[in-house]
Structure formats: C-alpha cells, structure tokens
Amino acid sequence: MRYLSTRGDATPRKFCDILLEGLAPDGGLYLPERYPQVDAATLAKWRNLPYHELAFEVLSLYIDDIPPADLKALCAKTYTAEVFGTEEIVPLRELEDGVYLEALSNGPTLAFKDMAMQLLGNLFEYELARRGEELNILGATSGDTGSAAEYAMRGKHGVRVFMTSPEGRMSPFQQAQMFSLQDANIHNIAVAGVFDDCQDIVKAVSNDLDFKRKYKIGTVNSINWARLLAQVVYYFAGYFQATANNGKPVSFTVPSGNFGNVCAGHVARMMGLPIHTLVVATNENDVLDEFFRTGVYRVRSAADTHETSSPSMDISKASNFERFVFDLLGRDGAKLRGLFEGELGKAGRFDLGKDAAFAQAAERFGFRSSRSTHADRLDTIRDTDKRFATLIDTHTADGLKAAREFLTPGVPMVVLETALPIKFAETIVEALGHEPDRPKRFVGIEDLPKRVTSLPADAGAVKAYIAAHCD
C-alpha cells in the first residue's frame, strides 16, 4: 500500500515513512492510494475475532512494511483487557430500543484518544528502534490529547514527550492526570499563558528547522494517519456487536471536533463496512454542521470560537476535514489545493453548496449532522441518568442528542462514547447536583506529587528546556 497527499504530491510513500511525519511536504494530509475492500466473506471471518486480532487484520491491509508477525505482536501488546478494562475493549450497551453506546473511553486517560495513541506509542517505539533513531515529541494541550500522548509514550525507549499546557487552566483532574506521571521521558511544561500561546510556541519551535533537525522534534497530532487508521478498527468492532449477521446496515453518531474520529468511520464505510449514516455531532462550534447543512466551510476566528462544556470539540477549523473533501472531489488534488490554499487562504471560507459534489456528501457518503448547546447537554445528561440510570459525559451527550434526530427504523444507531463523565465533572454536578463516580485507580490523584516545570510563554525558554533535557 502506498500513500499520497491530498494536495496532489503523489511521491509514493510507505506506512512507516509517514508514521513519524505530520503534514505531507506540500502541506496536504496523507491518505492511502485506495481503500482496500472487505466483502461479506471477510466480514464473516472477522466477526468473532478478539479485538487485537481484528486490529491486526484491518491494519495489515494498510501496512506492508512491518513484518506481519511483528504487527500482530504490536496489536496484541496494545489492546489488552488490562489497559482497556474489558475483554471486548470497546463494549457496546443498548440504551433504548436500537440505540447503543460504544465505550471507547476505558483506556488509561478515560477518553477515546487512547484507542489510537496507545498503538502509536508502540509503533513509534518499534520503528525508532528499527532505525536506531530518537524522537522528541513537542505538543500543546488543553487536556485530552496531551494526557493520552503522555500515557502512550511513558517509559517508551527512544521517545521523549515535551507537553506544554496553559498554566492553571486545565481542570484539577486533568492536571493531576498529567502531572502525576513520574516517568523520566515525560516532561510537563506549564506555560504562563493561554492555549493559543502554547500552540504558538510549538509552531515557532517547529519552524526553526535547524533546531527541529538537531533535536529530532516531532508531533502526535490528530492528522497523523496511523491514529486515524487505529480508529477504523472500532467501527468494525461496533458493527459486529450491533448486528447478528453481516447484511444489516448500522448507523454511527460521532461527537466531532477535528473530524478525526468520524473520518475513520468514513474510511470504514469506504472499505465496504455496511454503514447507513454517519452523523457528525458538534457543539456550539458548528463549523462541520454548517458545512453538512449548507456546503459552506468557514473557519472561525478566535473571537468566534466558543468555550463550551464539551471542550474537546471546541475547534475553529477541523484539521482532518481535508481528507474527506479530497474523496468528495473525486480525489482531485488540484481542485482541493484551489479550495484550501486559494479560497480558504484568502477569504477564510469556501462554498461547495452549488457544486454537484456537495449533494454526494449525504447521498453517496452517508453524512448527516447536528449541533447541540449547553442546555441540550444538561437535558440529555439528566434524561439519560433518569430513564436509563446511565451517566454520560458532555461530548457523548452531544452525540446522543444528534443521534435521535437521524434514527431509521430497523437500523441500529451506535453512538460513540468519547469520554467518561469524571473528566468533565463540573457539568455533571451542574446537571445532576452530584459528582460522577471515579474509577478506583483515579481516587486521590490530585494529592500525588506533581512533576511539572513552569516556563514563560516564550519559545526560546522552551527550546532551552528541551536542549537541557535531551541527553
């Protein structure tokens, strides 16, 4: 399998070439040159596999530069009941007739990002050892991504993590999750500033090409193809649990921010998994809902980006969306470049509303969308608690509300549960008047010793810190 860029660069690359890279050199995102097709016979073979073997089967269709025995071992090491809490890894439970929750948030940091990041940690360690190289991951986080990266990379050979976060602005639980890690290769940097300052620092350091090369700086952001690929697996696992045989279609609703999670659903559907509808659920930051309703893709300004109670979906643009647009435009890299570099660059928006391709977003690719507000989240959390004695987090609540708008008789609807409520306890208290349950291993983490360095909001200071901790 070879990979190409959405912006037209077709230099053939293998999986391991792009594993450690972010954007393609032409500024595009990597996609496989084609989507391998799975037929009914393949689905039948996969239906009863344990999760780690299913992961191996899906991944091996896209990865031919890691020996199968090694890839199998990496999947087996990653997807264990010990790390993800159950043998099913992503257990499904029925909430009401035909509506299911697929639990993706029982990994080490209680959010779905563990599903991909845990595999990425093992893939990085494997590939870096094979090349005799090291990597220093520099990131910026406001919560979920940073902790998932740290828990995936802790103790891994050849990898260090330097994670910047805005000092004092993460929830006490999120701070405790990250800062209590004592591993020598994990570095928490609390920046005196806001999240945007952290992102600016990461950009400034990455733009210093000499520094980047000398210190082998890399990232783990959501545009990484390996992360997306790992997420494809749980659409298959959800499908098998929601159906008794392989002819039946299933719909999925996905709480969405950067379009990474639901893009994996799109890939699964393109492979031939019988997905009826893919519902994109947004919060007040409705960039994606606007697109799927109108064909207009409009990047929001900082002032126009809302701080909401489903904060992991607070985006101004959806960084993975370009992958879907590439498929929507019939994989026309030149046309895509015109939209993303031309119109979007100049006007901050493009409009496909009158383009024949736009109608295909729903008809051919199965996409629908909806948006929720804070009041909707509170209502959904209360209602789910009251009628089903089930506590859901704020992001999952956005999903459940959207899902109910697109139910089709006879088609199971699977809502992806993207985090556990304890991560966003403040809103649960607002909705229900009490704290959510806390998994045992997190009891008292706020009292553990903290390992974090405070630095000014200055790229020079962060560079000096990295240089001092790199031997």
Ligand X SMILES: *Cc1c(COP(=O)(O)O)cnc(C)c1O
Comparing CB distances to ligand X, the nearer of 102 and 144 is: 144
Comparing CB distances to ligand X, the nearer of 255 and 412 is: 255
Q: Is 304 exposed, middle or buried (0-12, 13-18, 19+ CB in 10 A)?
A: exposed
Residue 238 is encoded by which pair of tokens?
A: 């959800």
Distance of closest approach, residue 395 Cβ to ligand X, in angstroms = 4
**Strand positions, DSSP E, 331-378:** 349-351, 367-371
**DSSP letter (8 states) at residue 34:** S
Residue 38 is encoded by which pair of tokens?
A: 């799975």
Catalytic residues: 113
CA separation for the pair 429, 438 (Å, rounded):
13
Residue 335 is encoded by which pair of tokens?
A: 């046309």
Comparing CB distances to ligand X, the nearer of 160 and 368 is: 368
CA 134 from centroid of its chain's CA atoms: 24
**DSSP letter (8 states) at residue 61:** T
Distance of closest approach, residue 417 Cβ to ligand X, in angstroms = 9
Please state the φ and ψ torsions of residue 354, each to the nearest 5 degrees: -100, 0
Distance of closest approach, residue 207 Cβ to ligand X, in angstroms = 24
CA 43 from centroid of its chain's CA atoms: 25
Comparing CB distances to ligand X, the nearer of 324 and 326 is: 324
Comparing CB distances to ligand X, the nearer of 222 and 253 is: 222
Q: What is the dihedral of CA 101, 277, 409, 282, to 10 degrees?
A: 60
Distance of closest approach, residue 208 Cβ to ligand X, in angstroms = 27
Distance of closest approach, residue 85 Cβ to ligand X, in angstroms = 17
**Cβ pair 263, 269 in contact under 8 A:** no
Comparing CB distances to ligand X, the nearer of 16 and 83 is: 83
Distance of closest approach, residue 448 Cβ to ligand X, in angstroms = 23
Comparing CB distances to ligand X, the nearer of 185 and 369 is: 369
CA separation for the pair 207, 82 (Å, rounded):
40
CA separation for the pair 233, 159 (Å, rounded):
25
* Contacts for 410 with CB less than 8 Å, ≥ 6 apart: none
Residues near ligand X (CB under 6 A): 111, 113, 144, 222, 255-261, 312-313, 395, 418-419
CA separation for the pair 362, 291 (Å, rounded):
11
Residue 246's CB is within 10 A of a number of other CB atoms, namely 18
Comparing CB distances to ligand X, the nearer of 328 and 459 is: 328
